[in-house]
Copies of this chain bind each other. A is one copy, B any other.
Amino acid sequence: MTITIYDVAREANVSMATVSRVLNGNPNVKPETRRKVKDVIERLNYKPNAVARGLASKKTKTVGVIIPDISDLYYSAVLRGLEEIAEMYKYQIIITNTDNDAKKEFDAFETLRSNQVDGIIFLGGTDDKSVIESIQRTTTPVVVCGYSKDMSIYRVNANYRDAIERVVQGFIDRGNEKIAYVQSGYHNILENILADKIIEVLERNNMSKDNMFEFYANTYEEGMDLFSEVKEVKADAVIAISDEVAGGILHGTLDENISVPEDLEVISCSNTRIAYMMRPRLSTIAVPLYDVGAVGMRLLTKLMNNEEVEEKINVLPLDINYAKTTRV
């Protein structure tokens, strides 16, 4: 029923090899023959079977993306960057959600490999031991958009260390003394890095590390509920990983008639459109989400193409976007 390369060959009075050649742009075909074959292809509306092609060539023109949560604006913005570059290079994208579950992550990786994807991208970073081992064992190119302790992995991330340093120093310069640091609670390298950095800056300013108070929240609602706890420790500044959480804290605080940023400064480390839509507009560390994805996919295309890649790490610069929730 389905029309194959043989049908085209027969109709065009050539061998299937020749059809394959014109299909793949092989120059060793007489222009006249090429025309003839192309005409038949057009006429029969023939489309090569990508699966057969994948089996024969061992290249599927497909990349796998492993992502914690596709409905999280943060990741979907990165994915958008990935996708656009992938399209440019004619790659299809297979996505898998993991919900920050290491087991799912591992399974997704294995499944993608059995699907013969040409490359795999992790969004948000990985640090699960078995996943890292898998990555190292395989020959499939892998790029991590995010953090990982393993230095042998290709990755792209943003210069959060520098940005958080400036943020914290700013807080201190403006007289703040107690910083609430609100994380996701998922085991996440970035969150640890930031915690360390916050402490580092505190101590450099002759302040105790006890001036940082750790909290955990994942949603806007949880952020709102966090208000009382933040108040309890008398925090005068909040650094939240997620802008959705930051928004919750912000609104929860305002509901109690506490002024932002006068009595409490709030900044988030994420930078989705949500921050911009908050009232008052949320200050953020301005991660270039789209770029992270775009750079990551570009890097992967190079790896899949066996091109030379200078650095294993690609660190994007980071701006701080001071809006209405900071006293800058």
By a beta-carbon cutoff of 8 Å, the part of chain A in contact with chain B is 47-52, 54-55, 60, 62, 69-71, 73, 76-77, 79-80, 83-84, 87, 92-97, 110-111, 113-116, 220, 244, 247-248, 251, 254, 273-274, 276-279
Contact = CB atoms under 8 A, between A and B. Distances in A.
Given A50-B114, A62-B115, 9 more contacts: A51-B60, A70-B70, A71-B77, A83-B96, A92-B94, A92-B96, A92-B111, A94-B94, A247-B277
A293 B111 CA distance: 23
Sorted nearest first, the 4 A-B pairs with minimum C-beta distance are A71-B80, A47-B114, A51-B54, A50-B115
A287 B70 CA distance: 19
A79 B67 CA distance: 13
Contact of A73 (B71, B84, B248): B71
Given A55-B55, A110-B47, A273 B116 contact: no
B277 A244 contact: yes
Contacts of A244: 273, 277
Given A54-B51, A251-B279, A279-B279, A80 B73 contact: no
Contacts of A277: 220, 244, 247-248, 251, 274, 277-278
